[in-house]
């Protein structure tokens, strides 16, 4: 099968090759890129982890991952064999300052066989504790020296607060140039998240009303039905604010609120997003309860199944004060958004897995219909559904059929599934291909990550200084703690509840 001959020969080195991300997401994404002929004609994948493992066992594990988690399984044995013969494994102990010989030997052998100096992508799918040793090893080996050809992908979490993020940035910038560093936030690779840019700026219909004169408020919901699964150890140290808000939710907020970019250059788009983060009004410690709400799930039922509470989860402290739910009201202090509340919420063990952005418009300035006609009047809204069932819906008011004048709401829906036959790529497919191509638009620049940390730091500090008194405080399978409703109710608003999922 011909692949993309315009892409340079590439070696992709994955640190953390034994981890879930590699198995469930990265290799399935690469396999799908192969099926769509997007990969460079010459691509070698080298897995790196501490454990000793034969190439054959690594390949077998990868295949199992593809068969279990990929949107398309292995059907063509010949194609799989050609893909697999370029996958290999080396064992390296990153904590050993003399490590690296096996990796540099492998890189040299591959390039010798190809007879070219390949582009090299180093994907750090590893915990924060070994991030610096891994980067230091690459520096020591001199294998990530070419600013144009060698790239480093850094997985989240990027630091655990502003100081550690600054320190990690300083460490990485001391070894590599910024344009080599690709900080990943997989939400930015999701089709519908990217579509926010197209929707806003490729249509002249919406941008004129996309401001405080027409928009009443904005809601961003990222709800999950899952609990902490096997990640209790990590999650109990992180919580929803660090795990979801500092990155995914704030990035979505930036796309919704940013000014129109001048061109499609990575830095231009990133500058516009950073402007939004800078304009978010800092939440002061003493008023935190009016702007931020946290919660933790207790046992309950999700999608018809009984599930344990957070304190009973594996590797979680029984008296844990970690939030599994977080909701906020942010204000953006600029001309476009002054006075428009942005409500954000995310949580685990909620009734449905759904991510969506709702733009709720103001009432018409003058309502001349008889009051009986507008009894069921509802504001216009645009709902951008990120997942599942990607699409965009608008709610308008129409006359209900009949001899009386009665207005009612009608929804217009655009569904990706119906409009386009081609299935959408997974976020990691888009992002991996972008790194291979050297396009950083969908990745986070160092100052962007730090600006996002600056937004959440006052909340983080306030929450850490006062332990929650009433955790766990919402039953699994509910829409979170009651205090989250008060957050919106104070301004006369209420959360829009996305349609709940059917029981499987
Ligand atoms: C990850 C978080 O970044 O995103 C997880 O660490 C979360 O806790 C996941 O479950 C959600 O991603 P998605 O793509 O399933 O919405």
DSSP letters spanning 294-332: EE-EESEEETTEEE--GGGSTTS-TT----SEEEEEE-B
Q: What is the pLDDT of residues 45-75, one digit of tens each?
A: 999 999 999 999 999 999 999 999 999 999 9
The pLDDT-based confidence of 504 (bands split at 50, 70, 90) is very low
Could you confirm whether 248 is annotated as catalytic?
Answer: yes
Mutate to test the pocket of ligand 1, among 243, 250, 313 (most ligand atoms within 8 A of CB): 243
Segment 174-198 shows an average pLDDT of 94
484 C-alpha to ligand 1 centroid (Å):
21
Given phi > 0 = left and psi -120 to 50 = alpha, else beta, which region is 389? left
- C-beta 426 within 6 A of ligand 1: no
405 C-alpha to ligand 1 centroid (Å):
47
Q: What is the pLDDT of residues 125-144, one digit of tens each?
A: 998 889 999 999 999 999 99
Give strand pairing partners of 300: 307
The pLDDT-based confidence of 5 (bands split at 50, 70, 90) is confident
Q: What is the pLDDT of residues 250-266, one digit of tens each?
A: 999 999 999 999 999 98
DSSP H/E element including 385 = strand 381-387
Domains in the chain: boundaries:
10-155, 188-501
User: What's residue 95's pLDDT?
Assistant: 87
User: What's residue 499's pLDDT?
Assistant: 61
210 C-alpha to ligand 1 centroid (Å):
29
How far is 258 from 214, CA to CA, in rounded Å?
16
**Please, what is the average pLDDT of the chain?**
94
User: What's residue 286's pLDDT?
Assistant: 85
User: What's residue 332's pLDDT?
Assistant: 98
Please state the atom number of ligand 1 nearest to the C-alpha of residue 224: 10
Q: Is the pLDDT of residue 267 over 70?
A: yes
The pLDDT-based confidence of 503 (bands split at 50, 70, 90) is very low
Please state the atom number of ligand 1 nearest to the C-alpha of residue 156: 3
Which residue's CA is minimally distant from atom 6 of ligand 1?
243
- C-beta 155 within 6 A of ligand 1: no
The residue among 177, 161, 171 whose CA lies nearest residue 450 is: 161
How far is 71 from 66, CA to CA, in rounded Å?
8
Give strand pairing partners of 122: 13, 152
Q: Is 215 helix (H, G, I), strand (E, B) or coil?
A: strand
Query: Token pair for residue 480?
Result: 């979170």
Q: How many CB atoms lie within 10 A of CB 171?
A: 14
User: What's residue 252's pLDDT?
Assistant: 97
b vs e for 442-474, b when ≥16 Cβ sit within 10 Å of the residue's Cβ? bbbbbebbbbbbbbbbbbbebbeeeebeebbbb
66 C-alpha to ligand 1 centroid (Å):
19
426 C-alpha to ligand 1 centroid (Å):
13
- C-beta 313 within 6 A of ligand 1: no
The residue among 215, 214, 236 whose CA lies nearest residue 227 is: 236
| Cβ 253 vs Cβ 384: under 8 Å | no
Q: What is the pLDDT of residues 379-436, one digit of tens each?
A: 999 999 999 989 999 999 999 999 999 999 999 999 988 999 888 899 999 999 999 9
The CATH-assigned architecture of domain 188-501 is: 2-Layer Sandwich (3.30)
Residues in the chain: 504
Q: How are beta strands 43-49 and 87-91 bridged, if at all? A: parallel
Which residue's CA is minimally distant from atom 8 of ligand 1?
243
Which residue's CA is minimally distant from atom 14 of ligand 1?
187
| Cβ 501 vs Cβ 351: under 8 Å | yes
Please state the atom number of ligand 1 nearest to the C-alpha of residue 238: 6
245 C-alpha to ligand 1 centroid (Å):
11
User: What's residue 42's pLDDT?
Assistant: 95
Q: How are beta strands 43-49 and 354-361 bridged, if at all? A: unpaired
How far is 473 from 323, CA to CA, in rounded Å?
10
Q: Is the pLDDT of residue 204 over 70?
A: yes
- C-beta 243 within 6 A of ligand 1: yes
230 C-alpha to ligand 1 centroid (Å):
13
Residue predicted with more confidence, 303 or 504: 303
Q: Is the pLDDT of residue 174 over 80?
A: yes
User: What's residue 249's pLDDT?
Assistant: 98
The pLDDT-based confidence of 364 (bands split at 50, 70, 90) is very high
User: What's residue 501's pLDDT?
Assistant: 43
Catalytic residue among 38, 217, 248, 278: 248
Give strand pairing partners of 47: 14, 89
Give percent above pLDDT 70 in the chain: 98
Query: Token pair for residue 172?
Result: 């990485």
Largest CA distance in the chain: 84
Residues 6+ apart with CB under 8 A from 369: 405, 407
User: What is the CATH superfamily name and number for domain 10-155?
Assistant: NAD(P)-binding Rossmann-like Domain (3.40.50.720)
User: What's residue 2's pLDDT?
Assistant: 64
The pLDDT-based confidence of 3 (bands split at 50, 70, 90) is confident
Which residue's CA is minimally distant from atom 15 of ligand 1?
224
How far is 360 from 489, CA to CA, in rounded Å?
15
User: What's residue 393's pLDDT?
Assistant: 95
- C-beta 356 within 6 A of ligand 1: no
Which residue's CA is minimally distant from atom 2 of ligand 1?
243
Q: Do domains 10-155 and 188-501 have the same CATH topology?
A: no
Please state the atom number of ligand 1 nearest to the C-alpha of residue 248: 3
């Amino acid at each position: 099968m011909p692949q993309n001959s315009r892409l340079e020969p590439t070696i992709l080195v994955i640190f953390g090759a034994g981890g879930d991300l590699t198995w469930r997401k990265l290799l399935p994404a690469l396999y799908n890129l192969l099926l769509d002929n997007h990969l460079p004609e010459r691509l070698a994948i080298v897995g790196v982890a501490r454990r000793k493992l034969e190439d054959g066992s690594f390949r077998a594990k990868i295949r199992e991952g593809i068969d279990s988690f990929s949107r398309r399984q292995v059907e063509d044995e010949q194609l799989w064999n050609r893909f697999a013969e370029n996958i290999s494994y080396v064992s390296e102990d990153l904590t050993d300052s003399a490590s690296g010989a096996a990796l540099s030997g492998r890189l040299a052998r591959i390039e010798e066989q190809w007879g070219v100096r390949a582009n090299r992508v180093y994907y750090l799918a590893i915990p924060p504790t070994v991030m610096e040793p891994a980067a230091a090893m690459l520096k020591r080996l001199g294998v990530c020296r070419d600013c144009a050809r060698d790239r480093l992908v850094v997985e989240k979490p990027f630091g655990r607060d502003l100081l550690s993020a600054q320190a990690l940035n300083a460490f990485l910038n001391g070894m590599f140039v910024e344009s080599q560093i690709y900080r990943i936030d997989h939400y930015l690779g999701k089709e519908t998240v990217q579509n926010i840019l197209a929707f806003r700026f490729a249509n002249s219909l919406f941008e004129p009303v996309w401001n405080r004169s027409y928009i009443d408020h904005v809601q961003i919901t990222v709800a999950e039905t899952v609990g902490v699964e096997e990640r209790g150890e990590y999650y109990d140290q992180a919580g929803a604010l660090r795990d979801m808000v500092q990155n995914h939710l704030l990035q979505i907020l930036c796309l919704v609120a940013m000014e129109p970019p001048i061109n499609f250059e990575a830095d231009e788009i990133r500058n516009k997003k950073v402007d939004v983060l800078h304009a978010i009004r800092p939440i002061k410690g003493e008023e935190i309860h009016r702007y931020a709400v946290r919660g933790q799930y207790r046992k309950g039922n999700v999608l018809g199944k009984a599930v344990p509470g957070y304190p009973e989860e594996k590797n979680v402290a029984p008296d844990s004060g970690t939030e599994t739910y977080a909701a906020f009201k942010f204000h953006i202090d600029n001309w476009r958004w002054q006075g428009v509340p942005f409500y954000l919420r995310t949580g685990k063990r909620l009734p449905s897995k759904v991510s969506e952005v709702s733009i709720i418009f103001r009432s018409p300035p003058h309502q001349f219909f008889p009051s009986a006609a507008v009894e069921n009047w509802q504001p216009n809204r645009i709902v951008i559904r990120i997942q599942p069932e990607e699409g965009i819906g608008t709610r308008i008011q129409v006359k209900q059929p009949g001899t009386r004048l009665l207005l009612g709401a009608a929804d217009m829906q655009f569904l990706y599934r119906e409009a386009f036959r081609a299935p959408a790529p997974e976020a990691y497919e888009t992002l991996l291909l972008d790194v291979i191509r050297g396009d950083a638009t969908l990745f986070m620049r160092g100052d962007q990550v730090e600006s996002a940390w600056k937004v959440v730091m006052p909340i983080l500090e306030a929450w850490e200084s006062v332990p929650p008194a009433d955790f766990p405080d919402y039953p699994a399978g509910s829409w979170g703690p009651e205090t989250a409703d008060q957050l919106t109710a104070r301004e006369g608003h209420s959360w829009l509840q996305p349609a709940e999922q059917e029981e499987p």
